Chain A
Amino acid sequence: MRFPFWRRSRQEDLGEEIESHLRMAAREREERGETSRAAEQSARREFGNASVVREVTRDQWGRRGLETLFQDLRYAFRMLSKSPGFTTVAVLTLALGIGANTAIFSIVNAVLLHPLPFKDPSRLVLLHEGIPKMGYPKMDFSVPDLAVFTRAQQSFTAIAAFHNEHVDLSGQGEPERVIAARVSASLFSMLGAQPMMGRTFTQEEDAPGHALAMLSYSLWQRRFGGAQNILGQTIAVDRQPYTIIGVMPRNFVFPLPSDEANGQSAELWIPMAFTPVEFQDWGGSYFYGAIGRLKSGLTLSQARFESKLSARRIIDSYPAAIGNFARKGELTVIVAPLQQDLVGSVRPLLLILMASVGFVLVIACANIATLLLSRAASRHEEIAVRTALGATRLRLLRQFLTESLVLSLAGGGLGLLLASWARDLMLQLVPPSILLPHQVPLSRTVLAFAFGVSIFSALLFGLVPAFQISSFSVQSSLREGGGAAKTSRRRFRLQRIFVTAEFSLALVLLVASGLLIRSFAKLLATNPGFRPDHVLTVNVPLPSPVYSHAAQVENFYQQVLAKVSNLPGVQSAGISNDLPLRGYEMVSISPEALASGRTSTPQAICQTWVMGNYLQTMGIPLLQGRWLTPEDRFGSQQVALVSLSAARNFWPGQDPIGKRVRWGVNGPWETVVGVVGNVNQQGLDAPLVPQVYRPYLQLNGGFLEQDPFADMHAMNIAVRTANDSAALASAVVAQVHSLDPQLAVGNIKTMTQVLASSVAAAQFNTVLLGIFAGLALFLAAIGVYGVLAYSVAQQTHEIGIRMALGAQQRDVFRLILEQGARLIFLGVAIGLLAAFGLTRLMASLLYGVSPTDPVTFAGVAVVLVAVALLACYIPARRAMRVDPMVALRYE
């Protein structure tokens, strides 16, 4: 019933009714003898203003709900199109504000709010071991520990182990390096995951000797073209045939992509199948992830308590020789919700980004509110006329809010476009440390959010001006003829409050951004401990089933090192299992105590196996003693290099050369032959850890074959080149393939790239927050400009009088500037206080800078004041140029 087309016909009805009235009146006059022309004119005169009659009559139709909305909307569009400048500025401002909020929210929604795609994910927990007193607060499980714990615990319906392994896929098509997840059979039912084709493996098949594999959807599509007859076919994993028994659905991701895997996720799943040897590996190889499902009715804290008790059973099960260390080190089991473990580190970053876009939106709204208030001056007469014609205050209020709503929905729509564009850009910038799900869709939740934010914005910027405008006294505005000097004072006060608030918020954002910029600069200025320029690294993993003997592996790496070293353009080359800033292995070693010769307690240390001129290639300086040489091989004296921090830690004030260390508590003694510089192995912002470098060729052959670290078969070649290092990549890979054409090499990167990607997360924070702070500064500057320009326009008359009475241009200039400066300084003062209270929330994102860094606070305040004064300068100059004669005639 209430649709605009129906309404139109009713409007036509009214028009016709009025026309017929006029015709009848004219006819009667004609019959009385007037000419038809005069009759018609006087009939119209007597009738009065037909459009007003039509308007007030229409008001009687009881427009409600949709009808009123349509009418208000039509009117809003008319009003907004009358001032395209204002409309454009407002819509663009809102688009920026709402767009930024939507873009960040879509990420927050995907990362923080979206439940994991598993059955009842809140009951899933990750389990870790920890030996806090030995420097291992949190690590993965060893196989025997997990077996003991699984039997002892009573809190979990099931516990599954998982471990990512890099494997070569060969056979059909190009050799390819992918992640295969070794997982327990119980994993799939625990997660509530069903294969889309075939089956998962059974408990009985989770044992050595069952070469079964389940493919990821993407691997199935990529490598097998989505063939339906895939089940029962074989796939060569590290050149061993595995029978394909199932395909997992597209959305199944487990283990969740981690930093370590470079954000990649597993492409196939094979049975965990622990070997009897692995079950006996006490006190070593804490490599296996463990996930459990809480028994129903059990709280997390109950499970934590019970797990601590069960952890004692692990200690009791240790062989006597090392059990004591586990006990002294207070070995325990840590229970953490899967969700929290996943997002714990990015939560503060995302929340701070969300808060900052919120600030930007509030600033944008404050800006539009001041614009609306300024615009109100020109609407005085309109309001007076409408009130005189019977519009109630509520009616006016609704009309103004409708206008605000039209603005903010237009801004929201544009913002959504902006967001979908900016989001793609942002997702490319997102560092792997922010674990994003595979796709971040502009979901219904995000759309609803954008819509909600639009409505909220409309209220935020529309409500105060609407109340203000609709309360104009009709008499006063009619009497004042639109000038309205007195009411404008009050509005002007509101505008000043808005602008002050804008400056406070902008200052908080600028301080946050300034702190990040300073901490990023500090990060870049940190000495990484190596020379990143002109170094190329290539990862060359050897599939262990093929390279099963230690001699084969050592032989291969020696040969490839010799070949690569002889390449033209290569200055030096070396091999190592870990690279600076990328992965590291923590082990326990016992340094020899000098005086007594007794071993001291084991210490956590970062251990790297090297070969050739690795340290020289990386540009890590030798500070004392000698380099490792090819003569440091199996059978000769066991030697090691330690980093400066290790030397100072273990033997403070003593000469480290000739001191001995050993792995764990029973390993053979190794003699320290040199001290090298500290390297940031874990990342520039991570604390330095003591390091030990050991010759790869002294690695125990049996140890290498067993390869508990999983990377003794996946060494990295590093070469220092005379010229562009990236250009040499294909030559290095060619040398590898000349020895084994089937090898899949990976991770070809220059150390400059590695350095850059290690600061990618910090860069992401800095860039995004910088953009938002810049936006805030820009909007606040526009805000103060707008208010002052409006104030100057309002005061033109007054300024004219002052100048006529002898005020100098300088005085006028100062008068206006002072008005602006008062707002700015008040805003800055409030903002500094707020920032002082708020920046501590971002302490975890800062490196080398205190959250209340006075340099940043002062610097930012100066920048803000400078920009703001610049914005005041233009209206102040305009005021200065006021011609008294023109100004006095102004009204």
Chain B
Amino acid sequence: MKSRYQNRIELLQGTLDLLILQTLQWGAQHGYGISQAIRARSGEALQVDTGSLYPALHRLERQKWIAAAWKVSENKQRVRVYRLTAAGKRQLLSERSRWEQLSEAIAGILNPARENQA
């Protein structure tokens, strides 16, 4: 448990929103499904804390980037399902480009530094 915990990467402020929106791009999903999807796609590196996930979902819902509805799952369970709205799609695009700019910039800073150290 402990080692796994340390391997987890703390999400940067705002990145969770991006990940949720990106996850929902492939289709409507409930909270648990979103968290599992992020974990699986990150190769178990990103584990979304429920204490961050649900506030984020509700925040995004309030900003009308995602919409929620109660559905009955294949296991005959009532689940709350989130889907991306049109505004959410636009938001996803802008956040993605911002993220790409940011990671490029950070990479630009980090790479020469690594060369120097090496």
Interface 9-mer from A54-62, A148-156, A714-722: A54-62
Determine the interface band of chain A, counting residues with CB < 8 A from chain B. Answer: 20 to 34
Interface string of A506-517 (1 = CB under 8 A from B): 000000000000
User: Residue on B with the closest CB to A57?
Assistant: B54
Docked complex Cα distance between A259 and B55 (Å): 73
**Contact A61:B62 (CB < 8 A) given known A20-B78, A27-B75, A56-B51:** yes
**Contact A20:B79 (CB < 8 A) given known A47-B50, A48-B50, A53-B51:** yes
Most buried by A among B50, B57, B59, B80: B50
CB distance from B107 to the nearest CB of A (A): 32
Q: Which residues of A contact B59 (CB under 8 A)?
A: 60
Report if B90 contacts A (CB, 8 A).
no
Report if B99 contacts A (CB, 8 A).
no
Which positions 62-118 of chain B face chain A at CB distance < 8 Å? Answer: 62, 73, 75, 77-80
Q: Which residues of B contact A25 (CB under 8 A)?
A: 32
Docked complex Cα distance between A437 and B55 (Å): 62
A-side binding surface: helix, strand, loop or mixed? Answer: helix
**Contact A18:B54 (CB < 8 A) given known A60-B62, A62-B62:** yes
| A48 B51 Cβ-Cβ under 8 A | yes
Docked complex Cα distance between A166 and B67 (Å): 85
User: Residue on B with the closest CB to A54?
Assistant: B54
**Contact A60:B50 (CB < 8 A) given known A13-B80, A27-B75:** no
| B31 A17 Cβ-Cβ under 8 A | yes
Which positions 24-65 of chain B face chain A at CB distance < 8 Å? Answer: 30-33, 36, 49-51, 54-59, 62
Q: Which residues of A contact B62 (CB under 8 A)?
A: 60-62
Docked complex Cα distance between A18 and B31 (Å): 9
Interface string of A298-311 (1 = CB under 8 A from B): 00000000000000
Q: Which residues of A contact B78 (CB under 8 A)?
A: 16, 20
Q: Number of B interface residues at 8 Å Cβ cutoff, please give it.
A: 21
Report if A177 contacts B (CB, 8 A).
no
Our pick among B36, B54, B73 for the contact of A17 (Cβ within 8 Å) is B54
Report if A24 contacts B (CB, 8 A).
yes
CB distance from A452 to the nearest CB of B (A): 36
CB distance from A646 to the nearest CB of B (A): 92
User: Residue on B with the closest CB to A28?
Assistant: B36
CB distance from B53 to the nearest CB of A (A): 8
Interface string of A11-36 (1 = CB under 8 A from B): 00110111011011101100000000
Report if A425 contacts B (CB, 8 A).
no
Docked complex Cα distance between A25 and B78 (Å): 14
Report if A49 contacts B (CB, 8 A).
yes
Which positions 38-54 of chain A face chain B at CB distance < 8 Å? Answer: 47-49, 52-53
Docked complex Cα distance between A147 and B32 (Å): 100
Q: Which residues of A contact B58 (CB under 8 A)?
A: 14, 57, 60-61
Q: Which residues of A contact B55 (CB under 8 A)?
A: 53, 56-57, 59-60
User: Residue on B with the closest CB to A43?
Assistant: B32
Docked complex Cα distance between A28 and B75 (Å): 12
23 A-B pairs, CB-CB below 8 angstroms? A13-B80, A14-B54, A14-B58, A17-B30, A17-B31, A17-B80, A18-B50, A20-B78, A21-B30, A21-B31, A21-B32, A21-B50, A24-B30, A25-B32, A48-B51, A49-B51, A53-B54, A56-B54, A56-B55, A57-B54, A60-B59, A61-B58, A62-B62
4 shortest interchain CB distances as A-B pairs = A60-B58, A57-B54, A60-B59, A24-B32
With A48-B50, A48-B51, A61-B58 known, 4 other A-B pairs at CB within 8 A are A14-B54, A14-B58, A20-B78, A24-B33
